[in-house]
Structure 1
Amino acid sequence: MQETKRQKQIGQLVQQELSGIFQRMGFNVIEGGMISVAAVKMTPDLLEAKVYLSMFQIKAPAEMLERIKERMGEIKKSLGMGLGKQLRRIPELSFFLDDTLDYVFKMEELFKKIKEDDANIKEGKK
């Protein structure tokens, strides 16, 4: 089912606010890596938000995700203060790892390997 315009608007609003919260909490640049809020998907009733986090050069993404979940109360309180005037109810947050960057890097490696293999085949035939 496709997201409605309202779901997208609220998702973007939550994403922007969470990005600011992560910066204030020091999660955006941590342990030599970066964490960013890649996307927020809202349920049709706007009471739940799936937050996808992109982690770049973080050694243990699963552990970092757990550290973020441990501070859920603080994050939700800050979100309520930031969005309280725009939303009746602050959505329940669920955090997930966004593996889009990993997928992109794997695809780039595969394309590089294919090019190298093609070059080796052409050199072998000549």
Structure 2
Amino acid sequence: MQETKRQKQVGQLVQEELSDIFMRMGFNVTEGGMISISSVKMTPDLLEARVYLSMFQIKSPEEMLEKINERMGEIRGALGNRVAKQLRRVPYINFFLDDTLDHVFKMEELFKKINEDKDKK
């Protein structure tokens, strides 16, 4: 099902505010790596935000995701303070790892191997 205009607007608002919250909490640059919010998808009732995190050069993305989830109350509280005037309810946040970059790197390596095999023939 396609997202409505309102879902996209609220998702964009949540993404911008969470990016700033992550920067203030020190999550954007941590442990020698970077974390960014690649996208936010809202449910049709706007009560749940699915936040996809892209992690670059983080040794253990799963552990980092756990650390972020441990501070969920603090993150959601900060988000509530920022969007109180725009939204009736603060959406519940679910964080997911965005593995798009990993997929792209794997595809590039496969294409390189295919091209190398073609060159050998």
TM-score with structure 1 length normalisation? 0.94
Shift of 1:82: 1.0
* Secondary structure class of the residue paired with 2:79: helix
Deviations 1:29-87 (A, max 9, x none): 11111100011110100001101101111110000000000000110011011111111
Any stretches of 5+ residues in structure 2 without a counterpart? Answer: none
Structure number with bigger Rg: 1
Question: Who is 2:7 aligned against?
Answer: 7
- The alignment covers a number of residue pairs equal to 121
Q: 1:115, CA displacement in angstroms? A: 1.1
> Is 1:95–2:95 an aligned residue pair?
yes
Amino acid paired to 1:105: F
CA-atom RMSD in angstroms: 0.6
Distance 2:30 2:111 in 1: 31
Structure 1 CA distance for aligned equivalents of residues 78 and 44 of structure 2: 23
Aligned identity (percent) is 75
CA distance in 2, matches of 1:115, 1:9: 43
TM-score by length of 2: 0.98
Cα shift readout 1:70-108 (whole Å, capped 9, x = no counterpart): 000110011011111111100000010000010011111
Gaps of 5+ in 1: 122-126
Write the distance in 2 (CA, Å) between the matches of 1:32 and 1:55: 11
CA distance in 1, matches of 2:115, 2:29: 35
For 2:42, give the aligned amino acid.
M
